Homo-oligomer: A and B are copies of this chain.
Amino acid sequence: MSERNASAKGPRKVLIIGGGFAGLECAQKLANDSRFDVTLVDRNNHHLFQPLLYQVATASLAASDIARSIRQVLTKAKNVTVLMDEITAIDSDAKTANGKSGTVYHYDTLLLAAGARTGYFGRDEWAEHTLGLKTLAEAQTVRRTVLSNLEKAELTSDPAEKKRLMTVVIIGGGPTGVELAGAFADLIHRSLKEDFRRIDTSKLRVLLLEGADRILAVYDKDQSDYTKKRLIKEGVEVMTSTKVVNITKGRAELEDGTVLESEAIIWAAGVAANPLAALLGVPTDRGGRVTPNPDLSLPGKPDIFVAGDLVAILDENGKPVPGVAPAASQMGRHVAKVLKEDARLDTTSFAGDKASLRAKFRYWDKGLMAIIGKNHAVVKAGQMRVKGFIAWLMWLFIHILFLVGFRNKLSVLLGWAFSYIRDNPEARVIVNRPGTVAKEA
CA distance A411 to B140 in the complex (A): 22
Give A144-160 interface residues, CB cut-off 8 Å to B: 144, 147-148, 151-152, 154-156
Chain B nearest Cβ from A374, distance in angstroms: 18
Nearest B-chain residue to A83, judged by Cβ: B155
Contact B64 A152 (CB under 8 A): no
Contact B434 A407 (CB under 8 A): no
CA distance A194 to B71 in the complex (A): 9
| Number of chain A interface residues as a range | 35 or more
On chain B, the residues within 8 Å of A140 by CB distance are 431, 434
Between A76, A135, A433, the greatest number of chain B beta carbons within 10 A of the residue's beta carbon is seen for: A135
CA distance A82 to B427 in the complex (A): 18
Cβ of A360 within 8 Å of any chain B Cβ, yes or no, is no
On chain B, the residues within 8 Å of A409 by CB distance are 415, 418-419, 426
Cβ of A63 within 8 Å of any chain B Cβ, yes or no, is yes
Some 6 contacts from A to B, beta carbons below 8 A apart, are A45-B429, A71-B195, A81-B197, A82-B197, A83-B154, A101-B152
Binding site for B on A (CB under 8 A): 17-18, 20, 41-46, 62-65, 67-69, 71-72, 75-76, 78, 80-87, 99, 101, 103, 114-115, 117, 134-138, 140-141, 144, 147-148, 151-152, 154-156, 194-198, 274-276, 407, 409-412, 414-415, 418-419, 424, 426-441
Please list the 10 inter-chain residue pairs (A to B) with the smallest Cβ-Cβ separation, ordered nearest first. Answer: A43-B441, A411-B415, A84-B151, A411-B414, A64-B427, A62-B62, A71-B195, A81-B197, A67-B429, A62-B64
Other A-B pairs, 13, CB within 8 Å; known A72-B424, A85-B441? A18-B441, A42-B440, A43-B439, A62-B62, A63-B63, A64-B426, A81-B198, A101-B156, A135-B437, A137-B437, A140-B434, A274-B441, A411-B418
